[in-house]
């Protein structure tokens, strides 16, 4: 794995678990942000639909980091982190 030593691997795992609430918190808040935009300010996503792609790319990156370290989404609480939201964007006529 990129020539990582055991100590570096442990430091990366620690960062994923602890930094700013850990990777699970980052995944959840990334998804929560998209839900908030869609529900409270849908006009932002209608006028700038690429924002959904940015947030999805961040989610994919975080999930890849999680899986690359042998971690999985824990399911003690099936609502956390929340699933990636399905966003339907329709312009009102």
Domain limits of the chain? 6-68
% of the chain beyond a pLDDT of 90: 43
Q: How do residues 34-79 score in pLDDT, each as one tens digit?
A: 999 999 999 999 999 999 999 999 999 999 988 887 877 766 777 7
pLDDT grade, residue 33 (50/70/90)?
very high
Query: Would you give the distance in Å from CA 4 to the centre of its chain?
Result: 24
Q: How far apart are CA 71 and CA 87, in angstroms?
A: 27
pLDDT score recorded for residue 23: 87
Residue 1 has pLDDT above 50, yes or no: no
Q: How far apart are CA 93 and CA 91, in angstroms?
A: 6
């Amino acid at each position: 794995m990129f020539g990582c030593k055991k100590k570096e691997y442990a430091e990366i795992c620690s960062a994923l678990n602890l930094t700013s609430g850990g990777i699970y918190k980052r995944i959840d808040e990334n998804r929560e942000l998209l839900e908030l935009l869609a529900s409270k300010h849908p006009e932002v996503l209608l006028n700038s639909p690429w924002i959904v792609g940015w947030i999805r790319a961040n989610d994919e990156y975080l999930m890849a980091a999680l899986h690359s370290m042998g971690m999985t989404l824990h399911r003690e609480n099936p609502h956390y982190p929340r699933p990636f939201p399905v966003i339907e964007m329709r312009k009102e006529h």
